[in-house]
A and B are shown apart, each in its own frame.
Chain A
Amino acid sequence: MEKSIETIWKEGFLEADALVVPKLNNLYTQKSMHIVEKFKRMFQTNLRAIVIGGVVILGASFVVGIPVMGIMVFLIAGAIVLVNRTLQKRLMEIEPNVSSYEYVKSFDHWLKEQIDVNARMARFYYPFFFLSMVLGFWFSDYLPLVTRHLPSIYFVNGIPVFWLLGVFIIMGILYAVGGRLYKWDLQIVYGRVLKKLDEILSDMEKLRVSYPEIA
Chain B
Amino acid sequence: MSSDFYTAYILPYSALIIKICRAYTNTQEDFEDYYQEVCLQIWRTREKFRRESEWSTWVYRISLNVCLTLLKKKKNNTQHFASDYLPEEETEDSHAFADENLNVLYDAIRRLSEVDRGVILLYLEEKSYQEIADITGTNANNIGVRINRIKERLKKLLDGKVN
Task: Please give the residue numbers on chain A whose beta carbons come within 8 Å of chain B beta carbons, in ascending order.
Answer: 2-3, 5-6, 8-9, 11-13, 15, 17-22, 24, 27, 30, 203, 206-207, 210-211, 214
Least distance between B48 CB and chain A CB atoms (Å): 16
Cβ contacts B134-146/A at 8 Å (1 or 0 each): 0000000000000
Apart from A207-B1, A211-B3, list 7 A-B contacts with CB within 8 A: A5-B120, A5-B158, A12-B102, A18-B99, A21-B11, A21-B14, A22-B18
Least distance between A103 CB and chain B CB atoms (Å): 18
Q: Which of A9, A19, A22, A210 contacts B2 (CB 8 A)?
A: A210
Q: Which residues of B contact A6 (CB under 8 A)?
A: 124
Majority SS of interface residues in chain B? Answer: helix
Given A9-B102, A203-B44, check contact A18 B3 (CB 8 Å): no
A11-B101 in contact (CB<8A): yes
10 cross-chain pairs, A with B, having the tightest CB-CB distances, nearest first: A12-B102, A210-B2, A12-B99, A9-B124, A22-B32, A21-B14, A8-B101, A8-B105, A22-B35, A19-B15
* CA of A19 to CA of B79, assembled, Å: 31
Q: Which residues of A contact B151 (CB under 8 A)?
A: 5
Given A19-B14, A22-B35, A211-B6, check contact A2 B105 (CB 8 Å): no
B3-A3 in contact (CB<8A): no
**Does residue B71 face the partner (Cβ distance < 8 Å to A)?**
no
Q: Which residues of A contact B159 (CB under 8 A)?
A: 2
Total A-B contacts with CB atoms under 8 angstroms apart: 73
* CA of A22 to CA of B25, assembled, Å: 14
In residues 73-114 of chain B, which contact A (Cβ within 8 Å)?
A: 97-99, 101-102, 104-105
Q: Which residues of A contact B6 (CB under 8 A)?
A: 24, 211
Given A13-B102, A22-B31, A203-B44, check contact A3 B36 (CB 8 Å): no
B40-A27 in contact (CB<8A): yes
**Does residue B39 face the partner (Cβ distance < 8 Å to A)?**
yes
Least distance between B41 CB and chain A CB atoms (Å): 10
Q: Which residues of A contact B97 (CB under 8 A)?
A: 12, 15, 18
Least distance between A47 CB and chain B CB atoms (Å): 24
A12-B1 in contact (CB<8A): no
Least distance between B2 CB and chain A CB atoms (Å): 4
Given A5-B124, A211-B6, check contact A203 B40 (CB 8 Å): yes
B1-A5 in contact (CB<8A): no
